[in-house]
């Protein structure tokens, strides 16, 4: 036992975080050790504050400080257009495009029978309720282009179409700025399949 016990415990706690292995945790712990006291305090306050304040929007299930969230509160956003994403962090990805002016619906995951995640574990019922309340014209399915995301999109499309809304899916293909040399065969296949007239 060459390390002080409190340091060993911090390394242990840091290792629970995603993407942080034994070496990374060690490095972070030593950094925290060297860091000024009030910087460590600020980090802890920020952690506890997030746990304290952040809740989920009662309309779209996005994370928010105030319920309903900024998007659901914003009168300027187009409520006829709902973009469905898997996780709260995916909202930021769509917002980055700066030209989506509709609202969101966060599923809180994707269908994954292997992990015991069925339709009841996701916020699907709430989405149907929103559509049934009327006024929605198009649902953009922006779940991830993974097996689970595609399955979720297909499942939702089957549920939503009978309700008389337009259901669309974001495009899959080769990412902008990439090299075809590095595109995997499935992506390449999707890119060919989804080709458009120039």
**Which chain residues interact with a copy of itself by CB under 8 A?**
1-7, 9-10, 12-14, 16-19, 24, 26-33, 37, 39-44, 46-54, 63-65, 70-71, 87-89, 91-92, 95
Q: Cβ closer to a copy of itself: 49 or 163?
A: 49
Q: Cβ closer to a copy of itself: 10 or 160?
A: 10
Q: Rounded to an integer, what distance in angstroms lies between the CA atom of residue 95 and that of residue 77?
A: 12
Q: Cβ closer to a copy of itself: 91 or 136?
A: 91
**Residue 115 CB, nearest distance to a copy of itself (Å)?**
15
Q: Rounded to an integer, what distance in angstroms lies between the CA atom of residue 178 and that of residue 198?
A: 20
Q: Cβ closer to a copy of itself: 3 or 129?
A: 3
Q: Cβ closer to a copy of itself: 31 or 161?
A: 31
**Residue 43 CB, nearest distance to a copy of itself (Å)?**
5
According to DSSP, the residues that pair with 64 across neighbouring strands are: 55
**Residue 134 CB, nearest distance to a copy of itself (Å)?**
26
- Token duo for residue 138: 């198009």
**Residue 131 CB, nearest distance to a copy of itself (Å)?**
23
| Angle, alpha carbons 11-17-22 (nearest 5°) | 40
Burial class (CB in 10 A: 0-12, 13-18, 19+), 183: middle
Q: Rounded to an integer, what distance in angstroms lies between the CA atom of residue 133 and that of residue 27?
A: 52
Q: Rounded to an integer, what distance in angstroms lies between the CA atom of residue 32 and that of residue 22?
A: 15
Element counts in the chain: helices (H) and strands (E): 8, 6
**Residue 29 CB, nearest distance to a copy of itself (Å)?**
7
Cβ(56)–Cβ(75) below 8 Å:
no
**Residue 142 CB, nearest distance to a copy of itself (Å)?**
14
Q: Cβ closer to a copy of itself: 82 or 91?
A: 91
């Amino acid at each position: 036992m060459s390390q002080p016990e409190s340091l060993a415990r911090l390394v242990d706690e840091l290792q629970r975080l995603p993407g942080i292995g034994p070496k990374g945790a060690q490095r972070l712990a030593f950094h925290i050790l060297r860091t000024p006291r009030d910087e460590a305090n600020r980090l802890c306050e920020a952690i506890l504050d997030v746990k304290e304040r952040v809740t989920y929007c009662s309309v779209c299930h996005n994370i928010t400080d105030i319920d309903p969230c900024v998007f659901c509160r914003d009168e300027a956003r187009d409520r006829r257009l709902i973009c469905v994403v898997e996780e709260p962090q995916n909202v930021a990805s769509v917002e980055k495009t700066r030209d989506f002016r509709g609202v969101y619906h966060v599923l809180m995951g994707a269908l994954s029978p292997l992990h015991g995640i069925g339709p009841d574990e996701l916020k699907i019922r709430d989405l149907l309720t929103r559509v049934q309340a009327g006024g929605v014209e198009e649902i953009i399915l922006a779940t991830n282009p993974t097996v689970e995301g595609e399955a979720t999109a297909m499942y939702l499309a089957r549920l939503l179409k009978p309700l008389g809304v337009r259901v669309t899916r974001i495009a899959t293909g080769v990412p902008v700025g990439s090299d075809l040399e590095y595109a995997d065969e499935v992506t390449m296949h999707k890119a060919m399949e989804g080709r458009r007239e120039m």
